[in-house]
Structures are given as structure tokens and as C-alpha cells.
Structure 1
């Protein structure tokens, strides 16, 4: 795989993240409405800007995967080192995206290992990478790992080691919504709500506890059970759910990261134009 192909994978991943950020209305999550009256205006602007800082690191992860050729412990360790360096670059650019970097980094590496793979096959390859331990990772516990241990939640590592089940569920929802004639934005929102309805989001557990997590899961299920965002009843339920999370200050950020991962996988395989075509 050439450097141009590695760059194309990285750009596709960042494009998926940007599309997730631009989607609205996302309950409890930053979206373009923040450019108006909502309180997280600066957060959303910075998130859109700092997303670009992921590109070099994701391209390096794709290159590492191609060079290694298989899901080895050495690849997992190298991806971890690249990820920590990329986190530093993103902080300098404004911060955010730590969860998205974890999700997209593993999926980009998986796509580089299996260039023809799509959908669940990409998630299965990512699972093989995540099964190994990052031997150079800092030994201090992260907030996410501490919350996972306290509540018995799978967390980001558990999600990856299970083969990203919520990415796969989101892909199924995308296909179902499109088959039913939903617009792309409606399909994406339904996929996001599908993730929210069952994900044990450690960020929510930290800020809102188990009761808050169950409240968010129930709210997401309520929108889907009302018919999803392609229906009037579903849109009304979504509006009420969004207002509720905004009032409570609860942000299911893990669901946003996994939607970005699903949108990336949904766009595979990435087609790389030749220099002549690009011109």
C-alpha cells in the first residue's frame, strides 16, 4: 500500500468524523446548532478544527499495519505509540476526539491489513488487533478504565475486543433505514440512536452514573420505537430527548465516536484516484 493509499484511508476516517460532527440534531452531542445559541459553541468549532489533526497519525497507523502485514502484538504496540503522539497533536490543535481516535485508529489499521474487506470483516480484523496488549502503554489507569472497573462496563477496550458490536449494529441500521427510503441524515441519526440505546458509555457513567446511563438508553429506544427520525412521531421524540439531555448536561460522546467508525466502514473500500484522475 502506497503512502497515497494510506493518506486516503486517513482522510476517509477524518471525513467520517467530520460528517458525524455536522449531523444534527444529535441529542447531547456537539453539532452545527452550537454555532448559534447553544452553550457548546466553542467546543464544536474546536472539534471541527482539531479533527484535521488526526490525519497524519491515522495515515501512520495505516502504514504500520501494511508494513507489519498481520495483527501482531508488535503492531498493537506501534499503534498505541502513534496514538499517544497523535493525542498530543490534537491537544495542540484544540483537543477532543480521544474516543474517535481509538475507534478510527483500529478500523483504519484493519482496513489497511485487509484492503478488500468491508463491514463486519473490517470489525473482525480490528478485533484481532485489539486482542493484543499495548506493552508500552502507561500503567496509570485512565478515567475510562477506572469507570469500567467500577461498574463492570465493557468500555472502549471491551468494545474493540468484542469486534465493535455497536459499529456493526449501526451499519445494520444504516442499511435498514436506507432500504425503507430514509434520507441519509435520518439513517445516520437512527444509527446513532441504535448505538446510544445499548452502549455502556463510560463517559455517561462517570458524569451521570448508572441511572443516567439507563435514562439515556431508554430515551434513544423511545425515538426508535416511535418510528425513527424519518417519521413525525420519531422527530418529536428526538426533539424532546435532545432538550432533556441538554438540560441535564449529559453527553453520550462514546456513541458519537462509534457512529464515526460506522460511517468510515460504510464508505469502504476507499478508492484512490491516480494522479491523472486527480488532476
Structure 2
């Protein structure tokens, strides 16, 4: 058990970090940091985002290790939250105080925990369901802070990152994953399939990052333009959209977090996980 637990925890953490890096390196993206530019962000660079992602490996490994083989409970919720808060602190130390991945720590941390509860054998449906169950527990030790996401959620009556998780990540299950699978099925390159998934998320998600920066007008503009880009299906349109989002200070950061979470879930399907790791898990369980 101990060896399998360590092996799986390392694997899940590596998959989580790689998912964050693959999301930021996906190029071009509208209003977001990528290989071409920093999008609508003055304080972010792709190198900073990479360093931030790598700094979270220990956090995700700790969440996986403590969750391995357990059931969802308020105690586990509080334990992984404490690890997540330590991860946030490490992230901020790495980035010089810039919030690069707070939303991703929440979303992917819950999914890492759910994957570990199932010892790597759960389906995507089981993982998101368990993650939602865990997210619905209250953390009695978490200090109440007025975050941008919380303020925006209350102001505009949208669910935000917390509600998305508590509902079992409906935008991943009903939007991002189906779009990704459909794009792959028609033979699109992986980068194009992921871009389509991102555009679909922007269309359907009431992204609190966009609302925080520009309110409902910016959100409506982003949704309309993302729909046109998805229909056009070419990179030049997305590059134009990137320029327009940047000019208008629009950054679909919530959609980017959900794309990274989608990539993670895709990697953690039992039939897609590394065969060598699966063999080691079977040998040591």
C-alpha cells in the first residue's frame, strides 16, 4: 500500500503540473498568457506561469497522498484545504506575490483528491462527482476572505469557481470534454482540439475573471466573439480575438482554469494513464 500510495501521488502531482503547463503553453489564446504574448496581463509572463506550476507539485502530491483510498468527508476537506493554502503561499513566494494559479489549486486540488480516493481507478464521472461532494463540505478552519471571485459572484449572481466545483464541474462535463472529444474524433490536431474546448468554455461559462475586469458587457462580448471564433475554426481569427481581448482588458482566466482541469481529468482516465505506473500499482496493492 505505501509504495502504491507514493507512486500514485507522484504521478497525479506530475499530471497536475503538466496540465497547468500545457494550458499556459497552448497558443494562441484570447487575452491569456501564451507563447506569443502576455494577453491582458501586465504582471504575468509564460516563464512565471511555468515556475508557478512547478512550485505546486509538492502541494498536489500532498493532497493525493492524504486522500489515497479514503472517502470524501469534512475532515478530508479540511486536510486538503490546509495543504492547498500552504500551496498558495508557496505560489506567492515563487511569483513575488502575483496570483497565478489560485483558482487552479482549488479546482485541480479537488480533482487530484478525488482521483486518489479511487487509487487511479475511477472514471471521470466518478472523479467529478467525488470532487463535488468534497467541495460541498464547509471548511471550519478556513479564514473568511473577500476575494475578487466571491465579490463578483455575489454582485452578479453567478456561481463562480466554488459553485462550479460544488456542482461537480458541469462546464467540464457538458462543454469542455464533449468539445475536446468531438474535435479529436474529426481528426483535428491536439492543440486545435484544446483551443476549441477553451472557446466552448468561454461561450458557456459566466467567467468571474471577465466579469471582474469588465462586467456583463465584457462577458457578453467575449461569449459572442468566442462563438464566432469557434465557428470560423482558424488560428488567424483567434489571433485577432487575442488582440481585441487584450485591448479591452478581457482575460478568461476562469475558463483557462477549467481547461487545465479538463486536461488533468483526461490524463487521469485509467485507460490513458502510464502503463508502467499502472503495473507498479497492481504489483504493490
**TM > 0.5:** yes
The answer to whether structure 1 residue 191 and structure 2 residue 197 are counterparts is yes
TM-score by length of 1: 0.90
C-alpha change, 1:38 and 1:126, in structure 2 (3 Å) is closer
In the TM superposition, what are the counterparts of 1:11-160 in structure 2 within 5 Å? Answer: 11-34=14-37, 43-66=45-68, 69-94=70-95, 95=98, 96-114=100-118, 115-160=120-165
Number of matched pairs: 268
Q: Specify the alignment match of 1:206 in structure 2.
A: 212
- Measured after TM superposition, the shift of residue 200 of structure 1 is 1.1
**Candidates 187, 208, 222, aligned match of 1:181:** 187
Does the CA-based 8 Å contact 1:57-1:83 persist in structure 2?
yes
Contact 1:119 1:171 in 2 (8 A): no
Q: Does 1:215 align with 2:193?
A: no
- The gaps in structure 2 that reach 5 residues or longer are 281-285
Q: Tell me by how many angstroms 1:31 deviates.
A: 0.2
- Structure 2 CA distance, aligned partners of 1:141 and 1:105? 21
Give the Å deviation of 1:110: 0.7
User: TM-score, with normalisation over the residues of structure 2?
Assistant: 0.88
Alpha-carbon distance, 1:40 to partner? 5.2
**CA root-mean-square deviation:** 2.1
Unaligned runs of 5+ in 1: 229-233
Q: How far did residue 119 of structure 1 move?
A: 2.3
Listed one character per residue, the Cα deviations across residues 152-211 of structure 1 (whole Å, up to 9, x for unaligned) are: 011111000111112222111111001111000000000001111111111111110011
CA contact (8 A) 2:203 2:226 kept: yes
Shift of 1:41: 8.6
* Runs of 4+ displaced beyond 6 Å: none
